[in-house]
Amino acid sequence: MEKFDQWPLLGGISSPADLKALPPEKMAPLAAEIRDYLIYRVTENGGHLASNLGVVELTLAIHRVFDAPRDHIIFDVGHQSYVHKLLTGRKEAFDALRQPGGISGFTKRSESEYDAFGAGHSSTAVSAAIGMAEAEYRKGSDAWTVAVIGDGALTGGLSYEGLNNCARHLRLILIINENEMSISPNTGRLARHLSKLRISRNYLKTKEFASSALRHLPLIGRPIYKVLRWTKRRIKHLLYHENLFEHMGIRYRGPVEGNDTAGLEELLRHAKRLDSAVILHVKTKKGLGYPPAEEDPNTYHALPPSGKAANGITFSAIFGQELTALATQDQRICAITAAMSCGTGLEPFRLTHPTRFYDVGIAEGHAVTFAAGLAAGGMRPVVAVYSTFLQRAYDNILHDVALQNLPVILCIDRAGLNAGDGPTHHGVFDVAMLSALPNVHIYAPVTGAGLAASLRAALEDTGLSAIRYPNGCEDPRILSAFYPDGADDGRPIGVRAWGDPAPKTALTIVTHGRMAGVALEVAGQLRAQGTPAQVLLCEYLAPYDDLADRIMPLLGGDILFLEEEVRTGGFGMSLSDALEKRGAFAHRRRRILGTENGFLIPSAGQTPLQAAGLDVASVLKAARNFIEKEGQSDAES
């Protein structure tokens, strides 16, 4: 359990009530302690650093003005909630942040009553906050709902769908935390001066006093008040130009300094007195208090655990290099990312082919339909996206790409189970989602050369293609077993075999991706114990009928399908159906091992594979039981 001897102010806070009991002059030293602690802990455990350093004062002010958990506080995205967690009874557990069995790196309803809404993906807070505020209104409650919205979330269309449905009667405060991009730039020194003046404490008090006095002045008070209000709005319009939020009927205040606790407290109390839905625009500095993060917030946005950086070139980097080279040869190739150019390896492409690189913001659905439009216009678009974020674009994939049979390539990064970020970021659904679509091609390379070959093959496809690959680097176990002549041995993408060939084998493990490493160890132990076994590595998945034709001659003994994705509707079920049509199970049994239904949450000390029952020990036990006929075939159960 974490000790806080060197952070005494933070150590004395176990709930927001403790924070409120501190005098205002303690806020600056408390903010400094929080920053120091975050730098210490996040650089060790990994996680999101720069954004959390920027929202320290804002989070302090919110918890001093509002009464959580009665008042609801929502973060979008939840990765900027570390300070919130420290202030709401979880600081002693912070040494296990993002660790199995520890606290989440995002807000999580099951973790604390202070986490009003879970948020591992972006652009959800506006809709969720409006829903919660409306629920409180329907109950006759006077509770407030406060949403802290990172400016990047406003690149997602869902935010605007929510704003379009925002009623003024709600006790709702939407705080736009601008720390990177310009939302509503002002013009000239006078405008900047008035922006500061508008949110000063004296201005707010004077404005409220004057408004109240004029409205209560007999006969002439209200007409004068209306004229002055109209005049102020016209001047503001001339200085600030159009304000989208006010045109949508929502009150707006800002932009204001977001790293001043006292000023923010005054502004939040003013917003509460308005007793209606309001948008507060605050400007914070990413990485504040840690010079490396201030100078390079992108690098310090998300850090790996200390000493756990990838050893070797990653699949993301290989993808970026190969696509950049291919685009030099083919002017039709263009790359699309949803605010993840660095994470997906597309920085080389952006620098080399800037006119064919598109960062559409946090808008995965738009990214796919935009790609469909490019494809319909004769381009060859490649959409690079994490598996967990691809889920947000499923309708666009199905309706706009697959149905129209347009040549769009989805490059799916972080495929499979991923440590650290938890169930919101496990890439376990993409295979099942895509396997249901007609005419899709799904590639599953396990080497850099295989990824390059998959890209070249996908560029020849006439419809939807998907290339999925894991986080990290090549697995040396897979390389030595399946590619003895080198990863680029000139053989076409297909099925590779290791072990005792049919018909000698008693068990065939059919797998793909990095699960081949587990399959090899299991088969090796079975062979050492006298059970002939082989492993078939599928370098592509769909079309499943074509894959089944290739696998049929190689099968021997019973079949164990092994995958790290969701079992229902996934690789094992789809390929099993195709093999059954070919009579593969007339005299042999089958078993499918994959991530079972449900969201995977490892316990303390577990890896994601162990939690899913897909580590070597668990798979070996399941394989032995299957061979010894202790368990029925999946088809029989």
- Annotated catalytic residues are 286, 364, 392
Three-class secondary structure of residue 151 per DSSP: helix
Q: Which token pair is 460?
A: 């020849």
* CA 199 to centroid of chain Cα atoms: 34
Per DSSP, the chain holds a count of helices (H) and strands (E) of 27, 17
Give me the phi and psi of 431, to 5 degrees please. Answer: -65, -45
Local structure of residue 606 (DSSP, 8 states)? -
Neighbours of 554 (CB within 10 A): 16
Measure the CA–CA gap between 613 and 567, rounded to whole angstroms: 12
Three-class secondary structure of residue 595 per DSSP: strand
Measure the CA–CA gap between 219 and 349, rounded to whole angstroms: 68
Whether the Cβ atoms of residue 469 and residue 413 lie closer than 8 Å to each other: yes
Measure the CA–CA gap between 524 and 514, rounded to whole angstroms: 16
391 torsion bin: left (phi>0), alpha (psi -120 to 50), beta (else): alpha
Three-class secondary structure of residue 233 per DSSP: helix
Measure the CA–CA gap between 355 and 113, rounded to whole angstroms: 47
Whether the Cβ atoms of residue 551 and residue 495 lie closer than 8 Å to each other: yes
Measure the CA–CA gap between 254 and 268, rounded to whole angstroms: 12
Measure the CA–CA gap between 49 and 474, rounded to whole angstroms: 28
Q: What is the dihedral of CA 565, 569, 570, 574, to 10 degrees?
A: 160
Measure the CA–CA gap between 222 and 553, rounded to whole angstroms: 89
Measure the CA–CA gap between 427 and 631, rounded to whole angstroms: 29
Whether the Cβ atoms of residue 378 and residue 329 lie closer than 8 Å to each other: no
